[in-house]
Amino acid sequence: MNTSAVESVVTCEPYNFLECHLARWIWRILPGLCICVGTIGNLLNVIILKRLNLRRFPRNIFLVFLAVSDATFLWTFALNDVLFALHGYTFLEHGDVLCRTTWFVGYTAGAFSTWVLVLLTMERTLALKAPVFSRKMLTMKNCNLACGVTLTVIAVLNCNVLYGFDYKDYAHGEQLSPEFQNVTKIVASDYPCFFVSKGYMDFYYTKWNIISMTLYFVIPIVFSIVGNINIAMVIVLRRRKTAKNKVPDMIFTLTSSAREYGKSTDGTCNSSTDFNYTNVILQNTNFSMVGTINSDRDETQLKTDLSTSNTKPTRDGSFNRHDTTITKSESKKKKRKGKRGQHATRLLFCICVSLILTSIPCAVYEVIRGHLEDVSPKVASSLQLSRAVTHSLLYMNFALNFFFYFVSGTLFKNEWKKMVRQTRQSLKRLHIC
The pLDDT value given to residue 341: 52
Same-domain status, 75 and 31: yes
Pair 177, 198: CB distance under 8 Å: yes
The pLDDT value given to residue 10: 64
Within a domain: 331: no
Same-domain status, 390 and 306: no
Look up the domain containing 16 and give its range.
Answer: 3-242+346-429
Same-domain status, 169 and 295: no
Q: What is the mean pLDDT of each run of 10 residues along the chain (433 residues)?
A: 55 78 90 92 89 82 92 91 79 79 91 93 87 86 94 94 79 62 48 79 85 90 89 84 65 49 46 46 45 46 46 48 52 52 73 86 83 77 89 91 75 83 84 61
Structurally, the chain folds into a number of domains equal to: 2
Within a domain: 370: yes
Same-domain status, 296 and 372: no
DSSP 56: T
How many of the other CB atoms lie within 10 Å of CB of 293?
20
Q: Which residues of 34-51 are buried (b: 16+ CB within 10 A; e: fewer)?
A: bbebbeebbebbeebbee
The pLDDT value given to residue 21: 87
CA 180 to CA 6: how far, in whole Å?
18
The pLDDT value given to residue 173: 59
The pLDDT value given to residue 152: 96
Same-domain status, 64 and 86: yes
Chosen domain end from 264, 296, 325: 325
Same-domain status, 140 and 265: no
The counts of H helices and E strands in the chain are: 18, 4
CA 9 to CA 334: how far, in whole Å?
57
Chosen domain end from 295, 325, 355: 325
- Would you say the pTM of this structure is higher than 0.85? no
Within a domain: 332: no
CA 92 to CA 101: how far, in whole Å?
9
Within a domain: 180: yes
The pLDDT value given to residue 372: 74
Same-domain status, 106 and 231: yes
Within a domain: 336: no
The pLDDT value given to residue 244: 75
